[in-house]
Amino acid sequence: MKTYMAKKEDQVRKWYVVDASGAVLGRMASRIALMLTGKNNPHYTPHVDTGAFVIVVNADKIRLTGRKLDKKIYYHYSGYQSGLKRITAGRLLKTHPERLITYAVRGMLPKTRLGRGLLRKLKVYAGAEHPHAAQKPEAISFQ
């Protein structure tokens, strides 16, 4: 018996649309990370990008459980003295809801060159419209 190894040239990419309205952030992000890496496919290979493109719409209607809107803090350090910036999840949801989903999914992907390539296949939009209709994406609901 021979072990099947997927090749980059042989991959056929699928496109999925995920409606985030009413979905819990962490649960949805873990399923999106699974689709981006391709672990839901039978031809998954760890060192090859076998995943699909994922489009997330209605990012502004995402839910966070518990007191995470007030207690969860995202940090960014500029590298300069007193350059540590903080923003709560609730404020980030009001100002840039796309970043909230992107940060959650990025934390679940590998921290390698492959992981950065996988994150480029994630497209997040705050509203219900997206410019990827020509790819004929398949709709998925995580309710």
The whole model's pTM is what? Answer: 0.92
Q: In which domain, by residue range, is 48 found?
A: 14-64+96-141
3 part of a folded domain: no
Give the CATH number for residue 110: 3.90.1180.10
Read off the pLDDT band of 8 (50, 70, 90): confident
**55-83 tens-digit pLDDT:** 999 999 999 999 999 999 999 999 999 99
69 part of a folded domain: no
Residue 5 burial (C-beta neighbours within 10 Å; 0-12, 13-18, 19+): exposed
List beta partners, residue 53. 15
CA separation for the pair 113, 98 (Å, rounded): 22
134 part of a folded domain: yes
90 part of a folded domain: no
59 part of a folded domain: yes
State the total domains in the chain: 1
